[in-house]
Amino acid sequence: MAGSLVSESAIKLICMKNIPTCFLVLIVLSLTGCSKPGFKKGNGALEYQIVEDISGPVIGKLATVYITYSEATGNGKLLAGTGKFDPQLTTVYATNIKFQGDLQDAFKYLSEGDSALVKVSLDSIKKFNNSPLLAKDTSKYMLYTLRIHKVINQNGKTDSGYLQRVQAYENEAKLKRKKDEPEKIKRYLAFNKMNYKATSTGLLYPADLKTVNNTGKELYISYTVTSLDGLAYLTRYEKIRPDQSRFIGLKEALTLAPKGIKTKVIIPSHLAYNATGDKFKMPPYTPLICEFTILNK
């Protein structure tokens, strides 16, 4: 998460079109009318507006907080977010405050279940981040849209049950991702008006694709694997046989498509990385988009 400044991971997500759905209208309104009444003054140059006040557990000084968010400059340039079709919970820590008025400083005004808009001074962020992407931006602030999904407070440094509570929630969130996956794929297809068919295993491919049988053949392929929200996980050009591919869904996709045609398939997580993710930036139960071309070589 970008947190109090734009982190390296946020920069990698630049220009993603994945604002969380519940915040889409809020961003438009705030970017066109941030001078309207509603924002309150916080520490330093911080301003915040609680859009939905749930009055759940408050965020203490020692807390792990699970959020979804989007990040945009005051000029309206979207930089990062946790996703629209497959939002990925991000973990932040209430104690990780870099300067007075940074994003985590807003947590003292928020509680579990709340959604909010937060403005953080861009000049202050630039003191901690030398990214050329921000250096030329003339905005006065960075605008964050937040939803606080879960707050796990540590009741002092000797709280022996704290880590168990964190692990229990993360296991719960993992199971929810598994349960929600089919509906995420369905929404993605409907939103993009994609007419797809499913194989017996669940691989989704264009209904008008004239399938072939490439089983056992040696192929030259160019492919990109992303999340439903466009976050790139793999980009490759390689010589391969379908049975040598990285995961089952890609293997099956390569056996179907003719040469020379760019093909986009949707690979459910049970045909990809399933419950483990890639143990780097892909969480468990992540459905994938694979766009590939079998080259004429």
Answer for the pair 115, 146: CB distance below 8 angstroms, yes or no: yes
Q: May I ask the CATH architecture of the domain 8-159?
A: Roll (3.10)
Q: Can you tell me the mean pLDDT for 197-223?
A: 91
Answer for the pair 105, 42: CB distance below 8 angstroms, yes or no: yes
Query: What is the percent of the chain where pLDDT is above 90?
Result: 50
Is the fold of 8-159 the same as that of 181-294? Answer: yes
Six token digits for residue 106? 């807003």
Whether residue 224 has pLDDT greater than 80: yes
Cross-strand pairs, 64? 93, 152
Note the pLDDT of residue 83.
Answer: 85
Listed ranges 9-23, 151-165, 193-207, 252-266; the one with the highest mean pLDDT: 193-207
218, with CB counted inside 10 A (0-12, 13-18, 19+), is exposed
With helix as H, strand as E and coil as C, how does 108-176 read? HHCECCCEEEEEEEHHHHHCCCCCHHHHCCCCCEEEEEEEEEEEEECCCCCCCCHHHHHHHHHHHHHHH
Six token digits for residue 279? 């143990």
Least confident piece of the model among 78-92, 192-206, 259-273: 78-92
Topology (CATH level 3) of domain 181-294: Chitinase A; domain 3 (3.10.50)
Domain extent listing, the chain: 8-159, 181-294
Please give the residue that has the higher pLDDT: either 246 or 257. Answer: 257
Q: Cα–chain-centroid distance for residue 147? A: 13
Query: What is the percent of the chain where pLDDT is above 70?
Result: 86
* Rounded-to-integer distance, Cα 85 and Cα 230, Å: 10
Answer for the pair 55, 124: CB distance below 8 angstroms, yes or no: no
In angstroms, what CA-CA distances link 92 with 2, 65, 105, 152? Answer: 9, 5, 12, 11
Note the pLDDT of residue 190.
Answer: 97
Note the pLDDT of residue 158.
Answer: 82
Whether residue 4 has pLDDT greater than 50: no
Q: Tens digits of per-residue pLDDT, 257-271?
A: 998 989 999 999 999
pTM for the complete prediction? 0.76
Whether residue 214 has pLDDT greater than 90: no
* Rounded-to-integer distance, Cα 213 and Cα 48, Å: 57
